[in-house]
Amino acid sequence: MARSLRLILAVLVVCSSAIAQDKKMVAVMDFDYGTVRSEVQAYFGTDQDVGKGISLLLEQKLVQDGKYRVIDRNTMDKILKEQNFSNSDRVDPTSAAKIGHILGVSAIIVGSITQFGRDDKHIGGGGGGYGLGKVGLGGLHKNDSKAVVNVTAKLVDVNTAEILAVVTGSGQSKRSGFGFGGGGGDWRGGGGGAVDMGSSNFGNTILGEAVNAAVADTGQQLDDKAASLPTVKVQVSGLVADVTGNTLVLNVGSNGGVKVGDQLSISRKVKDVKDPSTGAVIKTITNQLGTATVTEVDAGSSTATFNGTGTPQVGDVVKSQ
């Protein structure tokens, strides 16, 4: 019975691993919000990076849906900082493709916010309009509020910079009610501090509801495109630069397509076979020593744990399996 249970668990682990490997890895860039910056400043009382806020919400949506694997945001930001990529590079499809190749992902998701705002109407009573201040006294009035958020996202192939898909997510929220007093909106959280768009305080506002609806719509459309992504096999090629016990430092990193968790082959060159007529090397004979599992990665190097019967040395060959 115990043996059968262990066998079932082993099969489940293998199946789960296979499913995870079949998912395409993507990176979500901060969305551009230049076309709605004036509206953002009007609503919040100061400039807020709503593009980054929406991209973070979209990351969460994609991870929860399980159609993609999404690269860790901190890892991505660290690599982009090391490579000196600007915010404009993140939006441009060609530059984004280069970024995606460095990150080792199958596709990059870039986008922009094309509509972000509210349309509040106050009928009757004294005064009207929306505002960030307190509600004043006045006659009975009816409040009709509507928030609209539209987001456009592009799925970009990292190898060709081809735009594989363009989706537009839309979100609206409406509220109506009666009250006393003049103008005044129901927004809370503007006026200077950074706004956490993932917080419940924001999500419960009319604008937050519209944002979440737009993100959900965008994420669902991207989920529907997951099967159409090309499978990308990155071929890693490098050398062992340092050996300390079973810990190896490799001379290839994220720039060469290495990612944490990669299983790489470690082998030693036996000889080069040369063309007798030209002297050019036509084949290299190697002897495999074992494998190495990558544990840390930076732009130009990586650290891996060796497993095998051989003894690795500086200069041994590192390749994808």
Structural domains of the chain, count: 2
pLDDT of res. 223: 94
* CATH code of the domain covering residue 105: 3.40.50.10610
**Do 112 and 176 lie in a common domain?**
yes
In this prediction, residue 19 carries a pLDDT of 36
Do residues 123 and 179 touch, judged by C-beta distance below 8 A? no
Q: Are residues 243 and 197 in the same domain?
A: no
Q: With contact defined as beta carbons under 8 Å apart, do 183 and 161 qualify?
A: no
pLDDT at 183 over 70: no
Mean pLDDT of the region 110-133: 65
Question: Across residues 245-265, what is the average pLDDT?
Answer: 90
Higher pLDDT pick, 91 / 178: 91
**Domain end marker among 179, 201, 228:** 228
Residue 200 falls within a domain, yes or no? Answer: yes
* Cβ-proximal residues to 303 (8 Å cutoff; 6+ apart), any chain: 247, 248, 249, 250, 294, 295, 296, 297
Residue (of 150, 154, 151, 148) closest to 222 by Cα position: 154
- Across 19-33, 162-176, 186-200, least confident range: 186-200
Residue 95 binned pLDDT confidence (cut-offs 50, 70, 90): confident
Q: Say yes or no: 222 and 78 in one domain.
A: yes
Asked whether residue 113 carries a pLDDT value surpassing 80, the answer given is yes
Say yes or no: 220 and 284 in one domain.
no
Is 193 a residue whose pLDDT tops 70? no
Q: Do the domain assignments include residue 3?
A: no
How far is residue 109's CA from residue 231's CA, in Å, rounded to a whole number? 16
Q: Which of 228, 263, 286 is the last residue of a domain?
A: 228
pTM of the model: 0.60
How far is the C-alpha of 148 from the C-alpha of 43, rounded, in Å? 13
Confidence bin at 2 (pLDDT 50/70/90): very low
Report the pLDDT averaged over residues 21-43. Answer: 87
Domain carrying residue 256: 237-320
Please say which residue of 228, 250, 282 terminates a domain. Answer: 228
Q: What is the pLDDT of residues 198-234, one digit of tens each?
A: 888 888 889 999 999 999 999 999 999 988 776 656 7
Q: Are residues 270 and 220 in the same domain?
A: no
Q: Minimal CA–CA distance to 264: which of 38, 54, 104?
A: 104
Both 250 and 219 in one domain: the answer is no
Domain shared by 100 and 130, yes or no:
yes
**What is the predicted pLDDT for the residue at 219?**
96
Query: Within this chain, do residues 65 and 214 fall inside the same structural domain, yes or no?
Result: yes
